Amino acid sequence: MIDSIYSTASAIRSGEESSISVTRSILARIEQLNPTLNAYAYIDKDGALNAADQADVAISSGRNVGPLHGIPLAVKDLHYTRGIATTGGMKHLKDFLPAEDGTAIQRLKSAGAIILGKLNLTEGAMSGYHREFSVPQNPWNNTYWPGASSSGSGVAVAAGLCFGATGTDTGGSIRFPCMANGITGLKPTYGRISRHGLLGLAPSLDHIGPMARSVRDVAIMLDALSGHDPLDETSLKTPPTNVAETLECSVAGLRIGYDADYIDSCASIDLIQAIELAIDVMADLGAIVTPIKMPPGYLELIEPWFAIASHEAWKEHQLAYFYYRHTFGDYFGQFLDVGASKKGLLKAQKKREKFTHQFKQVLSTVDAIACPAGGAPFKIAASQYSGVRELSPSLSNALTQFTVPANFAGTPALTFPCGKTKEGLPLSVQLLGAAGSESTLCCLGHAFQTTTRWHLMSPFEEEAE
């Protein structure tokens, strides 16, 4: 079990620990576990060790670069990384070496982070893997779903192969792997983190966000990643967040919305009970539980999401698909074909607009809405390389009624573990909030984690704290 970003960064700053020793330890763990878990697509051992050595030199010279100084992180293989392949899980990009880092990578490095390497993902960041790429394995049980697009990030964090990782979320792919692997993650407000230098899936839905073991660590990463970027036209014209400094706020009086019918639309009794117990913990800390009603139609969101996301993805990839169509996998190829047809697109856009308006109205009445983060862990129901029809069981098990609303609205969502199944697998709760409410969501999540120990669970029993 590795320590937190917060405690390790403090130890490095004080000289109690060195970045080079921490980085070597993580690299040794990667060497031991990654051949089985397949979290990493590429490990930059030499680059990480050189950066760690420089971090220690800076500390010894009295220079502290930032809150991530000397901390080994990993990034999803959608980010442009200078001189290191950026594939997006797509065969035709296996030899693509960006000339510069994307904005998110630049900001992590500016905050002092050590980048260990690139993490595996589904092809194009959709739901199916390309046959020529490794599939991340859930460290809790390799017969269970690892969480779709940001699966490599979820597996790496849960297994202690990095202190934190970046994920992206177009329809749930930060929250799904957090749920599947028992870790903490934040899909921030749309535009909070620049997408410049990111291979996109559906630009109006895509979000970059941090994934780590605790809310505190996620907040530290968010603060480093956030802030306006003129190179991204959708970037919010706001300064970087300061969430990590506000975590100790009181939750007394914060209103948590609860829709029993919405929560009951998931099938797992274990999950419903765990979420209700989590709400009780926050209520004991002073939060006020408020009955709400989610907008009607939340069970039918996957169809309009699919139409919009597939069309935007087709626009992003149409040139490559024209020239390299034979290199695309079955699932992603079929997904792009659907997008090219524009089938149901206008109707889908109208449904999105209507639901988003109604959803924002509900969010305005509370400080957060508590609900599942995409269901409970489930066994892989179909080949992860299959076409659209064959993968539909996985899409139905990953309950998109809980994830798509925040993508449609561009509002933040925090996911963290809150229990275990009878089989010992992690269960998670999600807090949904209005645009710009990351501090409030993290305040609630941090208060929960200071009272409970679910975020300290490990898939390796001997390491559990």
pLDDT for 415-464, tens place per residue? 999 999 999 999 999 999 999 999 999 999 999 999 999 999 999 976 75
Q: How far apart are CA 326 and CA 76, in angstroms?
A: 25
pLDDT in tens, 2-40: 789 999 999 999 999 999 999 999 999 999 999 999 999
Domains held by the chain: number: 1
Burial class (CB in 10 A: 0-12, 13-18, 19+), 322: exposed
pTM: 0.96
In the set 4, 149, 150, 458, the catalytic residue is: 149
In the set 76, 118, 187, 351, the catalytic residue is: 76
Give residue 49's identity as a one-letter amino acid code: L
Residue with tokens 């502290």: 64
Task: Show the domain range for 173.
Answer: 5-463
What is the strand order of the sheet 164-169 is part of?
40-43, 114-119, 72-76, 164-169, 207-212, 184-187, 413-420, 426-432, 368-372, 255-258, 288-291
- The DSSP bridge partners found for residue 370 are 431
pLDDT in tens, 399-409: 899 999 999 99
Is 4 among the catalytic positions? no
Is 61 among the catalytic positions? no
Average pLDDT over residues 218-232: 98
DSSP character for 239?
A: P
The closest of 429, 301, 302 to 358, measured between CA atoms, is: 301
Sort residue 421 into left (φ over 0), alpha (ψ -120 to 50) or beta. beta
Compute CA 163 distance to the chain's CA centroid, rounded to the nearest angstrom.
Answer: 14
**pLDDT-derived band at 241, boundaries 50, 70, 90:** very high
Compute CA 298 distance to the chain's CA centroid, rounded to the nearest angstrom.
Answer: 22
pLDDT: is 330 or 215 the higher one?
215
Could you write out the DSSP letters of every residue in 337-354? HHHHHTTTHHHHHHHHHH
Domain of 168, CATH number, reads 3.90.1300.10
Q: How far apart are CA 427 and CA 373, in angstroms?
A: 9
- The DSSP bridge partners found for residue 409 are none
In the set 4, 18, 151, 173, the catalytic residue is: 173
